[in-house]
Amino acid sequence: MAIEGPFWRAIAVFRVASLVYAAVLMFQYRGYEEPVLGWLVIGVMALWTAGATFAYSVAALRRWPLLAMDLLVAMACLLASPYVEGASQGAAGIMPVPATWVAAPVLAWAVHGGRRAGAVAAAVVAAGDLWLRVRAPDVPILINGAVLLFLSGVVVGHVARLAKQAEARMQRAIEMEAAQRERERLARDIHDSVLQVLALVQRRGRQLGGEAAELGRLAGEQEAALRELVSAGPAPPEGTTDLRTLLARHRSPEVTISTPATPVLLPAEAAGAVAAAVGAALDNVRAHCGPGARAWVLAESDDGAVTVGVRDDGPGIPDGRLAEAHAAGRMGVARSIRGRIADLGGTVSIVSVPGQGTEVEIRLPV
């Protein structure tokens, strides 16, 4: 990710500064038994600083093999310190030859893998540093360096992970904005062409009647579906579905859909079951109320529940009709509507007045 660039550049600066610091310490202290070996270690550090700086600048090379090699080189330079220091090992004021340079791999692991990876690399380097102190004679064991390494690895890893998440969210927002702009452009183009044609076919079909009326009805359904498609908002979070989108598929010249302005989010399975129950209720309207019957679907979301009502202007359901259908084995209402919603912990109420239509109310807790 692009957000990682400043982190890698900061680590490169840290490597160079730490290398210069280690070289200054090597030059100032004259008590090393093997100064030639010490300068050789400094040379290895300089070569690796140049190579690692270049490698980490290439995104394709920032992989675990490079990170592992980085940690191994640092540990090798650190563990070479006793052979350079000789009898002066552990003397007051004497640091291992690499000095703070060994912290660079810890920072690199933290930026690449987060705080856990930074803590692992810090544990490895801290273990090597403590081992050097333990084997040094008459020297108190200090854990300051180990604590600082852990803090650096965890804090830098945490900040790097937060930065990556922020960049991912920003990228997602940019993509959603671009998709919305494209949708609006398509909506304008479609409105000027396809939607107008479909609306014309719908009107002319109704005027002509017969088979043309059926063609007009289908054109009206496609017009409603297309309008819903081009006006749809951003995709809902993963695992959820906007119930409004599923209900809109039932819109037609005979069916009016009314939904809230804001998304009605439900788990995908629950949203599908509610939409299927609404579809079953509308099928009953078509089957028992005649082709000219109208229906209204109203969805609401409040008080931790989603309520969907399906009302028609048909003749209503005669008293005892539902019980007779259940006894006769016709399970449309019992299974397709009540059964689906009951499985989700919801309720279904049916109110019908002869001559005044029927209303089916589905209520599902969120």
158 and 245 share a domain? no
Q: Are residues 154 and 269 in the same domain?
A: no
Instruction: Looking at the structure, tell me whether residues 15 and 148 fall in a common domain.
Output: yes
pLDDT at 183: 73
Residues 333, 251 share a domain: yes
Same domain flag for 254 and 138: no
Q: Which residues span the domain enclosing 322?
A: 235-366
Which pLDDT belongs to residue 251? 84
Tally of domains in the chain: 2
Q: Does residue 83 fall inside a structural domain?
A: yes
Give me 33's structure tokens. Answer: 């038994």
> How far lies 30's CA from each of 35, 167, 192, 281, in Å?
8, 50, 86, 93
Cα distances (angstroms) measured from residue 265 to each of 270, 332, 336, 345: 10, 27, 22, 17
Give the chain's residues under pLDDT 50: 92, 329
Give the pLDDT confidence score for residue 136 in this predicted structure. Answer: 67
Tell me whether residue 196 is in a domain.
no
Question: Do 145 and 274 have their domain in common?
Answer: no
Q: What is the CATH number of the domain that holds 297?
A: 3.30.565.10
265 vs 366: CA distance, rounded Å: 9
> What is residue 235's predicted lDDT score, i.e. its pLDDT?
60
Domain assignment present for residue 224? The answer is: no
Q: Do 33 and 163 belong to one domain?
A: yes
What does the alpha-carbon distance between residue 362 and residue 366 come to, in Å, rounded to a whole number? 13
| pTM, to two decimals | 0.54
Residue 183: inside a domain = no
d(CA 56, CA 64): 11
Structure confidence at residue 78 (pLDDT)? 92
Q: 3-class DSSP state for residue 141?
A: coil
Q: Answer yes or no: is 113 within a domain.
A: yes
Please say which residue of 149, 171, 193 terminates a domain: 171
> Which residue among 171, 205, 226 closes a domain?
171
Q: Are residues 147 and 21 in the same domain?
A: yes
Residue-level pLDDT at 325: 58
142 and 11: one domain? yes
Both 250 and 138 in one domain: the answer is no
Whole-angstrom Cα distance, residue 256 to residue 324?
Answer: 30
Q: Would the CA dihedral through 22, 89, 29, 31 be positive or negative? A: negative
- Residues contacting residue 282 through CB under 8 Å, at least 6 positions apart: 250, 255, 295, 297, 310
60 found inside a domain: yes
Coil, helix or strand for 239? coil
Last-in-domain residue among 171, 186, 221: 171
Residue 304, by phi and psi: left (phi above 0), alpha (psi -120 to 50) or beta?
left
On whether residue 104 sits in a domain, the answer given is yes
CA 204 to chain centre: 48
Say how far apart CA 313 and CA 359 lie, in whole Å.
9
Confirm whether 356 is domain-assigned: yes
